[in-house]
Amino acid sequence: MNYLSSSLLLPAIVFLPLLAAIIAFIIGRNRLQGLINISFSLTQFLLVVLTTLLFLDEQTDQSERYVIGGWGAPLGIDLIVDGFSILMLALTGLLTLLITLYSASYFSDKYNASEKSLRFWPLWWFLISGLNALFMSADAFNIYVCLEIIGLSAAALVALQGNRAALQAALRYLLVGLLGSLFYLFAIAILYRSHGTLDLMQIAETASHSFPDKVAMILITIGLLLKIALFPLHFWLPPAHANAPTPVSAILSALVVKASLYILIKFWFDVLGEATTFGASQVLGALGGTGIIYGSWCAFRATQLKLLIAYSTVAQLGYIFLLFPLSEYSMGVSSFTGSASQAAVYFIVAHACAKAAMFLAAGNLILAQGNGEIAKLKGIAVREPLNVLVFAIAGISLIGLPPSAGFIAKWLLLTTAFESGQWWWVIVVITGGLLGAMYLFKVLSLAFSTDPAVVESPTAKSTAPVSSVPVSSVMTTVALILALITLALGLNAEFILNISNTVTEVNGI
Amino acid sequence: MTSALLYSMAGLALFAIGFFGVVVASHVMRKILALNVMGVGIFMFLIALAKRNPLVVDPLPHALVLTGIVIAVAGTALALNLMVRIHHMDQSSQEQSK
Amino acid sequence: MFNKLDIEYDGPAVDKSALSLIASVLVVGLLLAVTIKIVLSDKGHNTGLAPLITQNIELSGVTNPITAVLLNFRAYDTLLEIAVLLVVVLAILPTRDHHAPFFKRIEVSKQNLVLLALQRWITPAVVIFAGYLLWAGAHQPGGAFQAGALLAGASVLMFQSDTYQVNYTSFMARVLLVLSLVVFITIGTALIWFEGSLLTYPLAFSGLLILLIETCATVSITLALASLYSSFIASENISVTDHKHRTIK
């Protein structure tokens, strides 16, 4: 028996959720259902933590390749992780654990959702295994299969709500996702044609400034931008994220769009870095900047709470796209290194935690309130103080106020923008922050407003509308934990940067 | 002009036609069909790619196409199912309003 | 471009907004020009992975190179692809009727003679041919997906009349649906123990293991495709008043 290395655990991280999906499907509705799923998520979390620790202990840029089938690339498929992907895996593990805990309550009999749970759990675990498989794949076509697992299960999860708006949002999401994957698949065909291999690193070795590589890069960018929902291709995201069940909204905003983003970053900086140009990255940055302003504005005008948060995702994704122009300034060589990439990585983590917390808190508020109208939230802070607190903390992080993860992320972004001399992005970032403050304080000021009827009768349940259900303490606690993580990340920035530092050390291709 | 070249051009044309359909058609059924046309275009491109060299047949693109077809079937089935469900929902609400 | 999603038939066939029309024509034109330039100018990698696959085919346990790629060299892709199919089945299966039996035969008084004859004559032949395809996959074109698709076609024929009914949500059906994924994962991970790496078939047993996986895959794929078909039929039956779409029955 040879010594344990991080790469040996990689297949287990994919297969454990698959196993959980199969078991959830076979046993169907069962009293132990919640318990089984929670224990699976706990096991998976521990496995991911162990892998992360082993990876950090190895002190390498990349783990060893896990060779499936003993063939090795280019004949077979390899699994590999680097600093960025291990961070995404760890994030997935953490959010899976917390949102599974939340879902176990959300889909219990208490909220008349056990019928939905029959479909939710297997699809949920397929989604997680697809995400995990994506983050460790070293094969271009394997990534396509993973993208399809994610896309189809995510669309099916959105449709779970069952009303017309949700079905239509799911259908649109599915069609856009399929279109995006087809563009990606076409690019893969072109890449295989000119490189004769599907392995990402072997493609990177022979990648050049040649015409086919450029076309492939353009096709991949178009396809993945559709899936990431960068402005102006964002049209499908708000309805899909707003109409899904709460835990699904949380994972969609926190991780599923990030999965496509991860692939885009990987291709843009690692695989086809040679084929990208300064102009193209400025275009992506400009789209990101427009997305920040437009998304924030739409969020400000939204009347539904979940729609507001979904538009906020459109805006926040814009910030991450500033990475592309900002990382160009160092000698024109684009590689996923330096402070711009640190800012982007930090932004991804900060946004994932804050947005998940916000969606869960919003879901709790909607349960307590009976519907998702923002105007109806007046004075809810008296009845649901903890959930409003979570919403506020997550909001602080999204606006980028200290002490929160969002503050550090924005700080890194701003300093990079100054250093690189691209001051125009500073204006965009600050305007976006102000607009963010506008739409979030709109909700918070309503929540804290003193409605005389509410203040006079402090006993919570007597004033609650008839349609509302008491929010289970587990659901509030999970949201609170996520919010506290957001705060902790703001106070202890080195932790994330340490993991992503291994990214920084990967020098070029 | 070899036949492989002809096939890959036909594949590209199918991809383009399909994309046009996806964007321009407004009925969901047409959009789904157009997506399938796009997919078929890529599969055709891949199969032509397998025979670039007249002496060697590359089996890998064939395998990719087989995998791709199954995934396309899955995606199409889900899209059709969602479409049919929305259709029935509309119909029953229409009947109620009558 | 996706903001308008018509479901009914009486809507206009074309999204009339000029923006999407112009944009799509531009993109299509650009795409065609650019890609045709690639096809014409670039010689590319001339043989791809063909030499490597030919070299290693002896070690794969099958002689058909496509089956070797699908179930040995890139078996991990195939495993995930089966998961994709299962995701869709899960999304579509109804959530009711867990306790009805898996298979049911109902005596229908009024039989359609043509259909009956087709069922009696064609179905057995299709089943035999599917078995042959599955077996032939090892050395010539064929394999689990082709066999599964054929069997699913036969099942479409069988379920045209209401004589035979399969309950896809029964325990038995669920076990059969996940069978291929379970077998694939079990064999794959068991081989970590024996051979040291995921899905590494030992040379002596590779042909046998591939056949086992393919057989299970055929069963699961048949059931999955048949359940997808029946879900459309079932939802058609829900709205009895809907005559416009009942062209199948």
> Which two tokens mark A198?
């599907």
- Please check whether residue A241 lies inside any domain of the structure: no
Residue A216 in domain: no
- Yes or no, beta carbons of A171 and B86 under 8 Å apart: yes
The separation between CA A226 and the C-alpha centre of its own chain, rounded to angstroms, equals 15
Please give the structure tokens belonging to residue C29: 């034109």
Q: Which of B88, B64, A68, A130 is nearest to C188 (CA)?
A: A68
CA distance C117 to chain A (A): 37
Question: Whose CA is closest to C164, among C226, C86, C237, C90?
Answer: C226
How many structural domains is chain A composed of?
A: 1
Angle between helices A338-369 and A405-419 (to 10 degrees): 150
User: Are residues B26 and C14, on separate chains, in Cβ contact within 8 Å?
Assistant: yes
Taking the C-alpha atoms of residue A294 and residue A237, their distance in angstroms, rounded to an integer, is: 14
The residue behind tokens 């796009």 is B38
Question: How is residue A197 written in tokens?
Answer: 């291999």
Is there a contact between A337 and A507 (Cβ–Cβ < 8 Å)? yes
Q: What is the pLDDT of residues C173-210, one digit of tens each?
A: 999 999 999 999 999 999 988 888 888 888 888 889 99
pLDDT at position C246:
37
Q: Give the per-residue pLDDT at C244.
A: 40
Identity of residue C117:
A
Any CB–CB contact under 8 A between A226 and chain B? no
Q: Name the amino acid, one letter, at A350.
A: A
**C109: closest CA of chain B, how far (Å):** 30
Mean pLDDT computed over every residue of chain C: 81
Minimal Cα–Cα distance from C210 to chain A, Å?
Answer: 13
Chain A: touching chains (3 or more CB pairs < 8 Å): B, C
Phi and psi for C14 in degrees, rounded to 5?
-120, 135
Note which residues in 16-75 of chain B have CB less than 8 A from chain C. 16-17, 19-20, 22-28, 30-31, 49-50, 52-53, 56-63, 66-67, 69-71, 73-75
Return the residue in B78, B94, B96 with the most chain A beta carbons within 10 A, the one to mutate for interface testing: B78
Does residue A276 lie in a domain region? no
Report the C-alpha gap between C119 and C240 in whole angstroms.
Answer: 26
| Residue A442: exposure state from Cβ atoms within 10 A (0-12, 13-18, ≥19) | middle
DSSP state of A315: H
Q: Which of residues 44-83 of B touch A (CB under 8 A)?
A: 45-46, 49, 52, 60-61, 64, 67-68, 71, 74-75, 78-79, 82-83
Contact B16 C32 (CB under 8 A): yes
In angstroms, rounded to a whole number, what is the distance separating the alpha carbons of residues A7 and A311?
A: 38
Q: Which domain holds residue A353?
A: 292-509
Beta-carbon separation of A164 and B89 below 8 A: yes
Chains that touch B (3 or more CB pairs under 8 A): A, C
Q: Give the domain range for residue B77.
A: 3-97
Q: Could you tell me how many residues make up chain C?
A: 249
Cis upstream peptide for A74 (omega within 30°): yes
Quickly state the pLDDT bin for C143 (edges 50, 70, 90).
confident
Task: Report the complex ipTM.
Answer: 0.96
φ, ψ for residue A484, nearest 5 deg: -65, -35
The whole-angstrom distance between C116's CA and the closest CA on chain A is 35
pLDDT score, position A457: 44
Question: Are the beta carbons of A263 and A224 closer than 8 angstroms?
Answer: yes
**H or E stretch at A170:** helix A164-195
More confident call, B16 vs C13: B16
Q: Is the peptide bond before A403 cis (omega within 30 degrees of 0)?
A: yes
Look up the pTM and report it: 0.92
Q: Residue A137: helix, strand or coil by DSSP?
A: strand
Measured in angstroms, the CA of A108 and the nearest CA of chain B are apart by: 25
- Chain B hits for C236, CB-CB cut-off 8 Å, are 84
Q: Closest approach of chain A CAs to the CA of C9, in angstroms?
A: 17
Mean pLDDT, range C44-72, rounded to an integer: 85
Residues 6+ apart with CB under 8 A from C228: B77, B81, C88, C89, C92
Is A452 part of any domain?
Answer: yes
- Cβ contacts of C78 within 8 Å, gap of 6 or more: B67, C70, C71, C184
Work out whether the CA dihedral A72, A78, A81, A82 comes out positive or negative: positive
For residue A164, count CB atoms less than 10 angstroms from its CB and return exposed for 0-12, middle for 13-18, buried for 19 or more: middle
ω before A452 within 30° of 0 (cis)? no
Residues of B in contact with A170 (CB under 8 A): 82
- Tokens 């896309």 found at: A151
Element (H, E) at B84: helix B59-97
Closest CA to C62 of C49, C75, C51: C75
* Domain ranges within chain C, ordered by starting residue: 1-44, 50-238
Are A44 and A51 in contact by the 8 Å Cβ rule? The answer is: no
**A503: Cβ–Cβ under 8 A, 6 or more apart, which residues?**
A82, A83, A84, A87, A336, A337, A341, A342, A345
**CA-to-CA distance for C129 and C142, rounded, in angstroms?**
11
What is the CATH classification number for the domain harbouring B46?
Answer: 1.10.287.3510
Instruction: Tell me the pLDDT of chain A (509 aa) as tens digits.
Output: 356 777 888 999 999 999 999 999 988 777 788 889 999 999 999 999 999 888 888 877 777 888 888 888 789 899 998 888 999 999 999 999 999 999 988 888 777 666 788 889 999 999 999 999 999 999 999 999 999 999 999 999 999 988 899 999 999 999 999 999 999 999 999 899 888 889 999 998 888 778 888 888 989 999 999 999 998 888 899 999 999 999 999 999 999 999 999 999 999 888 887 777 888 888 999 999 999 999 999 999 998 999 999 999 999 999 999 888 887 654 444 455 567 777 888 889 999 999 999 999 999 998 888 778 888 888 888 888 899 999 999 999 999 888 888 888 888 888 888 887 888 889 999 999 999 999 998 888 888 887 655 444 444 444 444 455 677 888 899 999 999 998 888 887 766 766 665 444 433 32
List, as ranges, residues 106-165 from A with C-beta within 8 Å of B. Answer: 141, 145, 148, 151-152, 155-156, 159, 164
Q: What is chain C written as a DSSP string? A: --S--B-STTS-SB---HHHHHHHHHHHHHHHHHHHHHHHH----SSTTHHHHHHHGGGTS-S-HHHHIIIIITHHHHHHHHHHHHHHHHHHS-S--SSS-SEEE---SS--HHHHHHHHHHHHHHHHHHHHHHHHTTTSS--HHHHHHHHHHHHHHHTTSTTEEE-TTSHHHHHHHHHHHHHHHHHHHHHHHHHSSTT---TTTHHHHHHHHHHHHHHHHHHHHHHHHHHHHHHHHH-TT--TTTT--
Interface touch A152/B74, C-beta < 8 Å? yes
For β-strands C103-105 and C164-166, DSSP reports them as: antiparallel
Distance CA A185, CA A381 (A): 49
Does the beta-carbon distance from B90 to C12 stay under 8 Å? no
Separation in Å, CA B88 to CA A343, C7, C151, C168, C235: 48, 10, 29, 21, 8
